[in-house]
Each structure stands twice: as structure tokens, then as C-alpha cells.
Amino acid sequence: MTINVVYRKYDGSLHWHMTLRKLGEDEHGVWLGAPAGSTGQRGSEPPIVYTFPYVMLFPREGWWTASFNDVPHKTEIYCDVTTVPTWTDDQVTMIDLDLDVLRRRDGTVFIDDEDEFAEHRVRYSYPPEIVGGARTACAWLFDSVSNGAEPFASGYKKWLTLL
């Protein structure tokens, strides 16, 4: 089964979107995957071809999504702070709230796009509950990824083997 993944910005504009294969579900959420050679697209820009396989996790209740990239990608884990993903039969949609937590292959963990969050907070008039939810999710992700909580330690690796 394929699932359309649609990230939007807070004003409703199309952000990243791609079609992935549903791999399964576990206690962490729904896992989707893409083999090397898959494409993704930001808005109406030309599609990008990924030269590595990756899996994505969509938690049932968390304000985030996560991508787990296979080698040779230098970023092993890329977490997007988002609104809680919402599902229809063949699509998952969420609002990208700019903040990202990344772990490089060397183990370095950092928060990215804090400047974009500050800019969009003003441009899109994020209400206090969105700002608070995004900051709480970002702090939780940073702690979980840094401290090797599952599925960020190794739980994602079994899903990569399915590709």
C-alpha cells in the first residue's frame, strides 16, 4: 500500500510531499519507507531523487515526524516538529513548524531552523498553543535523540531492512 505524505506550512501552502510504501506499525507509530531512487518534492519545485533508502515514522499523538536515512547520507536521523499527523485512508498530512532535530552519523545532535521558527512565528501569527507545542516537542526530541531513546537508538534499523 502506498501513502501520500503531505507537509504544509501554517498558512496552508504545500511544503514537502512524496509517496511512500507502508511498512507497518508498532508501539512508536506508523512506518513508511522509500527505496533508493524514490522522489520527493518541495512545493512546486522540481522533484529530488534520493540516492539512499529511508524510512519515516509518524507517531499517533506526537507533534513530530522522523526520517531515518541509510548510508551514505550524512544525517542519520532528521526529525521535523509538526502538528500531530492526521490520516485518511491513503494520506498523512501535517503542518511543518520549522524546528528540526538532527543526528549526524558521527553522533552530533542539534536543533536546526530556530531562525525560521522565529520568522514564521511572526509571519504566520502562530498562536501560543502552537508555539508551546512546538517548543515542547523540540525539547523532547532533542533529549530522546541525544540519549538514545527508542526508536532513535536502533529501533528504526529493522524497518530499513524491509527496503
Q: What is the pLDDT along the chain (163 residues), one digit of tens a residue?
A: 999 999 999 999 999 999 999 999 999 999 999 999 999 999 999 999 999 999 999 999 999 999 999 988 999 999 999 999 999 999 999 999 999 999 999 999 999 999 999 999 999 999 999 999 999 999 999 999 999 999 999 999 999 999 9
Cα–Cα–Cα angle for 56, 17, 35, nearest 5°?
45
Instruction: Flag whether 163 is in a domain.
Output: no
Bridging pattern class, strands 91-104 and 2-8: parallel
Q: For position 32, which CATH number holds?
A: 2.40.380.10
User: Residue 52 corresponds to which cell in the numbers above?
Assistant: 539512499
Instruction: Flag whether 22 is in a domain.
Output: yes
For residue 42, the enclosing domain spans 2-158
pLDDT computed for residue 154 by the predictor? 94
DSSP 33: E
Instruction: Flag whether 50 is in a domain.
Output: yes
Residues 94, 86: contact at Cβ < 8 Å?
A: yes
Give me the residue label for grid cell 526520517: 67
Indicate the pTM of the whole model: 0.96
DSSP 163: -
3-state secondary structure of 150: coil
User: Residue 59 corresponds to which cell in the numbers above?
Assistant: 507517531
Instruction: Flag whether 104 is in a domain.
Output: yes
Spatial separation of the C-alpha atoms in residues 140 and 79, rounded to whole Å: 11
pLDDT computed for residue 87 by the predictor? 96
DSSP 39: E
Instruction: Flag whether 31 is in a domain.
Output: yes
How many secondary structure helices (H) and strands (E) does the chain include? 3, 11
Number of domains in the chain: 1
Instruction: Flag whether 23 is in a domain.
Output: yes
Instruction: Flag whether 46 is in a domain.
Output: yes
